[in-house]
Amino acid sequence: MKTKIILIAILSLTVCQSYIYGQTNEISSFNSDCDSIPQAKDCRATEIVGIVLPSAMIIYGLISLDNNGIRQVDYNVHNSLERNNRFWNISADNYVQFVPAIAAYTLKFCKVKNTNNLLDMTVIYGLSNALAGGITYGTKIMTGRMRPDKSNSQSFPSGHTETAFVAAEFLHQEYKDQSALISVGGYVAAAFVGVARVYNNKHWVSDVITGAGVGILSTKAIYWLYPYINPVVNKILGIKDTSQQTFIYPQYDNRQFSIMFSKTF
């Protein structure tokens, strides 16, 4: 019973975050920008929630590196699953981790309005994965935590969960002004990956919680920094005038696939 409560809590935290974001954005839509006092408060509240929750996840994981009460939660969950023979043996988490990102591009190709153009989306997603992946890999090497199935000592934090939450936060950042359900869907998929990693006996609970925090914060960091990174990217790609861009991409509309040519003047 305790195991179910803990795993449900992981899912609830992530869904709660996306729901709060969505509610704030719906309230904000009645105002043109963040200049008014009520709107400014909404913007600050969203930013605070967006930073505090993933930061708390990372702190939770770092505390678990010591042999304390939080670490004992890891053991209790694992022992309960082992004792009741509740471990899974599925590979869905290997694929579901990319579902939110695929959804982001699918919505883009279906002409759903989002935050960035196709090129910027791709650069942001790539940089987010590079940053989160670098942090995760480096931490795995430094901590050397043994996996619960004892396959290797690269358990902390969970790379699958980190990748899934990079994708979920990416989806949220691109479509947060459209519908809260889009964000919720992305985070539910990411949370499933985290739960699956525990049930597949590949990670401890604290591994997946930390991976989620790393994925979310890394993606947020890239979105915050991208206005400063963008000129460098344009220079590398040889784009001199960002107001004139050309894209060729597939599109699905009215049950038909087509190749679209788009040029912005």
Domain map (residue ranges) of the chain: 2-264
pTM exceeds 0.85: no
Answer for the pair 132, 223: CB distance below 8 angstroms, yes or no. Answer: no
pLDDT value for 49: 72
The predicted-structure confidence for 205-240, as pLDDT tens digits, reads as follows 999 999 999 999 999 999 999 999 999 888 888 887
Please tell me the predicted confidence (pLDDT) of residue 46. Answer: 64
Q: What pLDDT score was predicted for residue 157?
A: 97
Average pLDDT over residues 7-13: 52
Helix (H), strand (E) at residue 153: none
Predicted pLDDT of residue 16:
53
- 34 falls in which pLDDT band (50, 70, 90)? very low
User: Higher model confidence: residue 26 or residue 197?
Assistant: 197
CA–CA separation, 80 and 256 (whole Å): 50
Asked if the model's pLDDT at residue 82 lies above 90, the reply is: yes
The answer to whether residue 72 scores a pLDDT higher than 60 is yes
Where does residue 77 rank: exposed (0-12), middle (13-18), buried (19+ CB within 10 A)? buried
Q: How far is CA 215 from CA 35, 128, 136, 143, 157, in A?
A: 30, 8, 9, 18, 10
